[in-house]
Amino acid sequence: MPESLKEDGLGPSGDEFYNLLLELHTGLDEAESHALNARLVLLMANEIGDIERLKAVFEAAAKYR
Amino acid sequence: MPQYDYQPFDVITPPELGGEGKAKDTYPVAIIGAGPIGLAAAIDLATKGIPSVVLDDNNVVSIGSRAICWAKRTLEIFDRLGVGDRMLEKGVTWKTGRLFHGGSEVYNFDLLPEEGHKYPAFVNLQQYYVEQYLVERAREFPDLIDLRFKNKVIKHNDLGGHVVLLIQSPDGEYEIKAEYVLACDGAGSPTRARMELPFEGQSFEEHFLIADVEMEQSPFETETAERWFWFEPDFHPGQSALLHKQPDNIYRIDLQLGPETDPKTEATEEKVFPRIKAMVGDKPFKLDWMSVYKFRCAKLDRFVHNRVIFVGDSAHVVSPFGARGGNGGIQDVDNLCWKLAMVLNGEASDTLLETYNEERMHGSEENILNSSRATNFMTPKSPVEQLFRNEVLKLSKDLPFARKLINSGRLSTPCSLAGVGLQLDSADENSSMHAGKAVVDAPVTVNGQETWLVSILQGGLKLVGFGDVKLPEVDGVERIGIGCSAGQDYPVFADPNGLALKRYGEGAAYLLRPDGHVLAVFLEPKPEDIISALAPVFSEAKLKEVA
């Protein structure tokens, strides 16, 4: 695990987050889900803000193909 | 043939139809259903001196193992009811859950990582044993518990001050009157159906196969019993699987079958045997019991309907992943029976029963939430849900946050009643032991004899001091000192390992409800504070008497 990634940022809210995410996608077709995911990435990137942390997240995500 | 020897219970002619014993004009409590919930309720009431008549349409214990995972909190309640030791002795103890994706392990969790508890995180024991032990325990109260098998309630009528029940027995039909009726008649509750009460929630389309197999050689690769859960295992592609050990070399296998399945075809040996063989390989096995099921998460809008009170599955149902059905029901019993006993004894007004409704509605909502979330993770309903799950499983190989998102069932933990019902005004959840929490165990000694907090702190209104805190005398409240100096005018227990003081805090005093939940915490307990904490529990008359 890259050192700059948080071990567990969600804490006790993990299950709630995951279920809210699925709810957000309920009823969308594939293209709509795809677009929603893109918007989520952009919004979350803005919330994180720090480019160094974003680079670490990108690197971690790209690793698992 | 199942290995368990099903012995039918004696069916006795009720006194109303000329049988032995004396018929009561009005029974304080009639319990519909002699499953784990109804039997536990009868025993709990009997320990408080309240007689009950238990009516069941059958005369044999549960066919099939059904509920097998009994959580620590349930075992602690069963300890109070007098069957905990027996369950611990016969049951298979476990505390580790292991998760696999495909052929490799991704994660494991320890549900009780610390020492110093009488009961383990979980004991696996077939429901038929639990019912047998409860029936045998109930028979130890012949003057208080009237067990009537093959006595089916076919009608009931709540007249406001009491309920009239029409009962069909092998000797004919008869009527009884009861002050309160506990509907412990299960997920398909006929009582609920007669009252036409809405029972709504989320239904899941997914089918599951549940099979008990008897095997000399363990299908686990370890001798220690654990809960194993697979996402997309090689032996059952694309689906999930669960494996548990039960006593008598019986293993519980749960296989997800998908939504497009014919349950009748699936519940045949031709279909089931190859599935089990794929899982256990060449190890010989015998099929003991199987069932193909779908499930839903649903509950009543209220559990208390004047003199008819719903307890267990009749009030709420959940998916089995998380062991929150039977364990939730036993927490209902624990919560209700002391309140009902106080109402029947005139120590509390019937408004106390409303706190059962509030507190256990809260508990069942928590169980339904956890169970629905687990089911959503386990059964992706769209390509995007499948995509998210696959990526969580992929990331979980080395990212801890992703491991925590994997949900194969969040296993039953004691429900905190903080901020609801009797604990409405006590919002301090900062300390580890606050109002609403269930008693936490620790080993203690008296005269060199070892015992446990769960064995001494439950069963009555108790004021318990940890360390040197002086406990004032209040009528109707039993006092107990833990790890304090001798010479008190109340029983004192030593804390040789220091675990009790560590878990409760030195110098703290706890006012405990009879179900072992904390009603209030004091640092300098004064009689007037204790009496004011008891005000929502007691009737006005009882409160005056105490003050």
What is the tens place of the pLDDT at every residue in B164-191?
999 999 999 999 999 999 999 999 999 9
Query: Which of B276, B320, B267 lies closest to B295 in space, CA to CA?
Result: B320
For the residues B290-309, what does the mean pLDDT come to?
A: 96
Q: Are B434 and B425 in contact (CB under 8 A)?
A: no
> Each residue of B132-156: pLDDT tens digit?
999 999 999 999 999 999 999 999 9
Beta strand pairing call for B492-493 and B478-482: parallel
Cβ separation B400–A7 shorter than 8 A? yes
Q: Which of B50-54, B317-321, B513-517 bottoms out in mean pLDDT, i.e. has the lowest?
A: B317-321
For the residues A32-54, what does the mean pLDDT come to?
A: 97
Among B377, B384, B394, select the one facing A33 at the smallest CB separation.
Answer: B384
Cβ separation B401–A21 shorter than 8 A? no
The rounded mean pLDDT for chain B is 94
Residues sharing a CB contact under 8 Å with residue B115, sequence separation 6 or more, in sequence order: none
Q: Is the pLDDT of residue A16 over 90?
A: yes
Q: HSE of B29 in the Cβ direction (CA atoms, 13 Å)?
A: 35
The token duo for B276 is 């089990």
CA dist B294 and B207 (Å) reads 5
Query: Which of B409, B392, B426 lies closest to B510 in space, CA to CA?
Result: B426
In SS3 terms, B70-137 reads as EEHHHHHHHHHHCCHHHHHHHCEEECEEEEEECCEEEEEEECCCCCCCCCCCEEECCHHHHHHHHHHH
- In chain B, what percentage of residues exceed pLDDT 90? 90
pTM of this structure: 0.96
**Strand intervals (E) in B420-477:** 443-446, 449-452, 462-466
> Each residue of B434-472: pLDDT tens digit?
899 999 999 999 999 999 999 999 999 999 999 999 999
Query: Which of B375, B423, B348 lies closest to B206 in space, CA to CA?
Result: B375
The token duo for B497 is 């390992």
> Chain A residue with minimal CA distance to B393?
A64
- In chain A, what percentage of residues exceed pLDDT 90? 89
Q: How many CB atoms lie within 10 A of CB B204?
A: 19
For the residues B467-487, what does the mean pLDDT come to?
A: 94
Q: Is the pLDDT of residue B430 over 70?
A: no
Q: Is the pLDDT of residue B1 over 50?
A: no
For the residues A12-35, what does the mean pLDDT come to?
A: 96
Question: Which of B367, B371, B384 is the mutation pick for testing A, counting most A CBs within 10 A?
Answer: B384
Question: Which of A3, A8, A24, A30 is the mutation pick for testing B, counting most B CBs within 10 A?
Answer: A8
Cα(first)–Cα(last) distance of chain A, in Å? 16
CA dist B489 and B505 (Å) reads 22
Q: Are B98 and B157 in contact (CB under 8 A)?
A: no
Q: Is the pLDDT of residue B13 over 70?
A: yes
Among A1, A22, A30, select the one facing B388 at the smallest CB separation.
Answer: A22
Query: ipTM of this model?
Result: 0.96
As beta bridge partners, residue B158 has: B163
The token duo for B242 is 């669960």
Using a CB-CB distance cutoff of 8 angstroms, which residues of chain B are in contact with residue A8? Answer: 400-401, 404
- Give the residue, B468 or B547, on which the prediction is more confident: B468
Q: Where are the alpha helices (DSSP H) in A1-65?
A: 14-25, 30-48, 51-63
Predicted pLDDT of residue B12: 95
> Each residue of B76-111: pLDDT tens digit?
999 999 999 999 999 999 999 999 999 899 989 999
CA dist B4 and A48 (Å) reads 59
Cβ separation A8–B376 shorter than 8 A? no
Identity at B241, one-letter amino acid code? A
Predicted pLDDT of residue B429: 56
Beta strand pairing call for B518-522 and B509-512: antiparallel
- The DSSP output letter for B15 is G
CA dist B241 and B222 (Å) reads 18
The token duo for B81 is 């009811």
Query: Which of B52, B300, B302, B325 lies closest to B182 in space, CA to CA?
Result: B52
Using a CB-CB distance cutoff of 8 angstroms, which residues of chain B are in contact with residue A64? Answer: 391, 394-395
Q: Is the pLDDT of residue B281 over 50?
A: yes
**Phi/psi of residue B230, nearest 5 degrees:** -115, 135
For the residues B373-377, what does the mean pLDDT come to?
A: 93
Using a CB-CB distance cutoff of 8 angstroms, which residues of chain A are in contact with residue B410? Answer: 15
Using a CB-CB distance cutoff of 8 angstroms, which residues of chain B are in contact with residue A16? Answer: 373
> Each residue of B335-356: pLDDT tens digit?
999 999 999 999 999 999 999 9
Cα(first)–Cα(last) distance of chain B, in Å? 62
